[in-house]
Amino acid sequence: MPSLHIAAQLIRRTMGSRRGVIMNVVLPALILSLMAGLLTGLNANKAIIVVNNADQGSYGAYLTSEQGQMPYYGILKDTKLSENELKELVLAGKADAAIYVPSDFSSQLLDGVRSKPVVYQMNEQLWNASLAAMLSAEVDRIYESAELARSSETSEVDPTLLTALLQAQAVPVVSAVNKEMKLGQIVSSPMMIGLILMFLMLLVSQSIGFVMEDRETRVMARMYTAPLRSMDIAFGNFMGSMLVGTIQLVIFLVLLYHVFGYSPGISFGSLLLVLECFLFAAVGLSSATAGLVRNSNQLSQINNLIIIPSCLVSGCFFPLSMLPDFMQKLANFTPQKWAIQAIDQLGGGGSYSDIGWQLLILLLFAAVLITFGSVVLRPNRTS
């Protein structure tokens, strides 16, 4: 079992010293806990919309009743604020949007004149553009109802017919029913898992860096004086890198589940399984990178160039859907994307059979990259 000794040495070198513990365990844990704190503060902030229905008549109420049904907005209704005060609220950032229904809305409606409700917002975004579109559809509907209730002879609106029409619509015949689908939370808020993936990659690249150093200084070549086969050395180094990652992974996950109380809705074991598969791919990626450069110094630099941008592209820090389409396709070539997707599926109640495809891709990544990188893990002629 000479490989075990080689692996143990690798662990000692990455995590054995005070510096190693601080850099590889304490600092990442600190950053994760900071993020956990920030994320709980950021979560669940619905857009706040202040509505003032200043309408003197009764029809304005039909307009504002609809908005209250949307689960995504936090609606403050029937404030007695003037139009200017609403505007100030939005400007001060206390409300995300404000809706003001003018006092003559009903009376103008009966006359067939449009008195426009007003929306205040800071700038156009998808959610508030949609809010405005919805409000404008509602206004159109009320005007259309009024036009229907207008008699063709007298051009007068029959108020009882109009009220009846509006009330009939308040109990809709056709409607959209939302079918609850269990979706994972990870793809849409990947920060915690994404950080763990990044730290794992950094750590693995560091331990591969040590192997590289051994090769440069010919320590690896000297190992042959002990009765060792090149397979033993390669396997020992590979196992060491995996173990280093696993130790860090277990520490992170224990912190995550038991100290921060963060739960992605997945059992400890299945998360560990997916991340172990990812670890394989990460060791592969790192050793393949090592094969491209000449010394360990260059390796650490080139790793920065690979790890951080690939984490950004693969949706580790923000949802993938924010990126332009071509970058989303590019993300398919990063192992992080598949790990995040697998965890997301599991979090949405998926079973292992659902994520078979993702795990297979991760292992394929590992197989291909390790083949490239196996040169590094074995003693060889130093170039």
Partner 1 sequence: MRVWWTTAYYELVKISRMRSVLAILIGMPLLLILLLGSAFDTEIKQAKVVVFNADQGDMKASIDTFWQEADLGLYIEVLQAKSANDVQDWVREGLADYGVSIPSAFSEKVRSGNAAEWLTFEGRYAEKNIAAEAAVNRYMSSVNLQLAAIRLMGAEQAAEAFGQAGTSASNEAAIAVHNLGMGNSRIFGETTAIQYYSATYLIMFLLYGGMTAVISLINQRESGTLHRLYAIPSSFRIIVFGIVFGACMLAALQAIVVILFTTYVYDVNWGGHYGAIALICLLATAAGVGLAITVASFVHNKKSTQTMFSIIVLSMTFLSGGMVTGIENMVGGANKLTINHWASSTLRAIMNGSSQTEVWQGIGVLSLIALGLLIVAVVRLPKVVKRHA
Tokens 């009846």 correspond to 164
Tell me, what amino acid is at 355? I
| Pair of tokens at residue 121 | 């917002």
Contact flag: residue 226 with partner 1 (CB under 8 A): no
Contact flag: residue 176 with partner 1 (CB under 8 A): yes
Q: What are phi and psi of 157, to 5 degrees?
A: -85, 130
Binding residue for partner 1, selected from 18, 154, 181, 227, defined by CB under 8 A: 181
Residue 109 in contact with residue 143, Cβ under 8 Å?
yes
Phi/psi-derived region of residue 308, left when phi > 0, alpha when psi is between -120 and 50, beta in every other case: alpha
Contact flag: residue 48 with partner 1 (CB under 8 A): no
Binding residue for partner 1, selected from 159, 318, 364, 375, defined by CB under 8 A: 318
Q: How far is the CB of 14 from partner 1 (least distance, A)?
A: 14
Tell me, what amino acid is at 292? L
Task: Collect all residues with Cβ–Cβ distance below 8 Å to 330 and sequence separation of at least 6.
Answer: 313
Task: Collect all residues with Cβ–Cβ distance below 8 Å to 298 and sequence separation of at least 6.
Answer: none
User: By CB under 8 A, what part of segment 242-301 binds partner 1?
Assistant: 293, 298, 301
Tokens 């209730």 correspond to 149
Q: How far is the CB of 278 from partner 1 (least distance, A)?
A: 19
Binding residue for partner 1, selected from 5, 76, 79, 127, defined by CB under 8 A: 127
| Pair of tokens at residue 171 | 């109990």
C-beta closer to partner 1: residue 279 or 288: 288
d(CA 161, CA 243): 76
| C-beta neighbour count of 312 within 10 angstroms | 18
Contact flag: residue 124 with partner 1 (CB under 8 A): yes
Q: How far is the CB of 55 from partner 1 (least distance, A)?
A: 14
CA distances from 67 to 37, 81, 91, 194, 243 (A): 32, 18, 22, 36, 54
> By CB under 8 A, which span of 111-119, 220-228, 239-247, 359-367 interacts with partner 1?
111-119
Binding residue for partner 1, selected from 15, 165, 256, 366, defined by CB under 8 A: 165
Binding residue for partner 1, selected from 43, 126, 269, 381, defined by CB under 8 A: 126
> By CB under 8 A, which span of 48-56, 122-130, 202-210, 233-241 interacts with partner 1?
122-130
Binding residue for partner 1, selected from 18, 173, 269, 383, defined by CB under 8 A: 173
User: By CB under 8 A, what part of segment 2-41 binds partner 1?
Assistant: 19, 23, 27, 38, 41
d(CA 107, CA 374): 81
Contact flag: residue 84 with partner 1 (CB under 8 A): no
CA distances from 225 to 10, 17, 233, 237, 292 (A): 19, 27, 12, 17, 28
Contact flag: residue 110 with partner 1 (CB under 8 A): no
Phi/psi-derived region of residue 153, left when phi > 0, alpha when psi is between -120 and 50, beta in every other case: alpha
Q: How far is the CB of 82 from partner 1 (least distance, A)?
A: 15
Q: How far is the CB of 111 from partner 1 (least distance, A)?
A: 13
User: By CB under 8 A, what part of segment 344-383 binds partner 1?
Assistant: 345, 348
C-beta closer to partner 1: residue 68 or 319: 319
Binding residue for partner 1, selected from 1, 93, 154, 261, defined by CB under 8 A: 93
Q: How far is the CB of 78 from partner 1 (least distance, A)?
A: 19
